[in-house]
Amino acid sequence: MKRSWWIGLLGSVLLLVGCSSRSVSDPIPAAPDYAQQEAWFDGKVTADRAYDVFYIVPTCVFDWEEADGTLCHYMDVDNPSHRAKVDGPLHLAEGIFAEEANFFAPYYRQITIESWMESPSVIQARFEVAFADIEAAFRYYLDHLNEGRPFVLAGHSQGGKAVIELLKRSLTDEEFGRMIAAYPLGYPVRDTDRSPRLVPASDATGTGVFVTFNSVSAPDKLPPLLQGSWAAINPLNWRTDTEPSTPAQHLGMVFTNADGSIQSEQAQVIEAHLDAETRALIVSGVDPQAYYVPSLAGLFPPGNYHVVELNFFYRNLQQNVKDRAATFFRNHTPGQ
């Protein structure tokens, strides 16, 4: 099996130090300061391209222990080992979403992989810590780094959930008017997620819309964590019905090295269609066993492609961001 930076979700359980405790049961690291370059991936705080991508990285860190053995359920953004876990997936996303855009990605106190195996109430309570960072980073970005440019919101997994919440909670009318599109990938948009800002994509070029899908080999491979979405789109043919794509529509699956350089690439491999009942994206043309990760079996059974769906649809997503941006600029007068 290819061991590339789609394995951002993997790693050994970390035995590190650095959490300050609000309570004995829930130690939480210090919040990042987004006025500091160190709080941002690659320190990117300047930009010279026509539009931006604000990206939120998926879950990459396992529970880890303080020196006294207390478990911590959040990334410590000041810990080099934690940052190394997320940098590979960030390079992967930069290659997809920002080939022609400025790329802004905050480090944040993401909740750990084990947190997603807890009850919904525990997940949400912990996620609020992560989202407080994301919202602070997004507000700092808009106020100090964006300079009025159009932007794309994107994230995968935990990052996809964060994009949904930003759309529901955090944009003004003016800011939403500058949003080219949103990509809350790898997370369901449920009935509780309703907002005038949540407009599902219906084709390949619409703007002000969101793009989402969850990839599996069969509907029963969609775990409870990812069930219940009322919206989805096929990233190969950009349809929202059950019409299957063809291999010719698959522009390329890409696996990358830690620095984002391409390790391998194949095109015209994957076919996919949306399941009418679950809205899952049913993928064929690949071996489910080749992408099964036993250490994540509690979340993702064999046949669930959550950890590789950005890799599977790398070139299609890359092209789609550019297509939606082109539509946006055709339809918007500069400065308006």
- Confidence check: pLDDT of 70 > 90: no
Both tokens assigned to 248: 């010719």
Q: How confident is the model at residue 18 (pLDDT cuts 50, 70, 90)?
A: very low
Q: Is 27 helix (H, G, I), strand (E, B) or coil?
A: strand
Both tokens assigned to 1: 């099996």
Q: Which residues sit opposite 215 in a β-bridge? A: 281
Q: How confident is the model at residue 12 (pLDDT cuts 50, 70, 90)?
A: very low
- Confidence check: pLDDT of 10 > 60: no
- Confidence check: pLDDT of 17 > 60: no
Mean pLDDT of 26-33: 88
Strand order across the beta sheet in which 215-216 lies: 215-216, 281-284, 271-274
Poorest-pLDDT segment among 1-15, 80-94, 177-191, 292-306:
1-15
What is the rounded distance in angstroms from the CA atom of residue 122 to the CA atom of residue 126? 6
Closest CA to 135 of 101, 104, 162: 162
Q: Are 278 and 227 contacting, i.e. CB atoms less than 8 angstroms apart?
A: yes
Q: For residue 63, what pLDDT is reported?
A: 83
Q: In this structure, what is the dihedral angle of CA atoms 37, 40, 44, 45, given to the nearest 10 degrees?
A: -60
Poorest-pLDDT segment among 4-8, 33-37, 77-81, 231-235:
4-8
- Confidence check: pLDDT of 103 > 80: yes
With vertex at residue 29, the alpha carbon angle to CA 122 and CA 21, rounded to the nearest 5 degrees, is 75
Residue 100 burial (C-beta neighbours within 10 Å; 0-12, 13-18, 19+):
middle
**313-324 pLDDT, tens per residue?**
999 999 999 999
Kindly state the percentage of the chain with pLDDT values over 70.
Answer: 90
Determine the length of the chain: 336
- Confidence check: pLDDT of 263 > 80: yes
Closest CA to 180 of 329, 304, 336, 315: 329
Q: How confident is the model at residue 44 (pLDDT cuts 50, 70, 90)?
A: low
Q: Which amino acid, residue 144?
A: H
Q: How confident is the model at residue 186 (pLDDT cuts 50, 70, 90)?
A: very high
pTM of the model: 0.91
Q: How confident is the model at residue 57 (pLDDT cuts 50, 70, 90)?
A: very high
Q: How many CB atoms lie within 10 A of CB 44?
A: 16
- Confidence check: pLDDT of 13 > 60: no
**266-313 pLDDT, tens per residue?**
999 999 999 999 999 999 999 999 999 888 888 899 999 999 999 999
- Confidence check: pLDDT of 43 > 70: no
Kindly state the helix (H) or strand (E) to which residue 265 belongs, with its residue range: strand 262-266
Q: Are 262 and 5 contacting, i.e. CB atoms less than 8 angstroms apart?
A: no
Q: Which residues sit opposite 209 in a β-bridge? A: 181
- Mean pLDDT across the chain: 89
**140-183 pLDDT, tens per residue?**
999 999 999 999 999 999 999 999 999 999 899 999 999 999 99
Mean pLDDT of 245-252: 98
Closest CA to 105 of 191, 27, 40, 9: 40
With vertex at residue 318, the alpha carbon angle to CA 313 and CA 324, rounded to the nearest 5 degrees, is 120
Q: For residue 25, what pLDDT is reported?
A: 54
Q: For residue 20, what pLDDT is reported?
A: 41
User: In sequence order, which ranges of 33-191 are alpha helices (DSSP H)?
Assistant: 80-97, 120-140, 158-169, 173-177
- Confidence check: pLDDT of 19 > 60: no
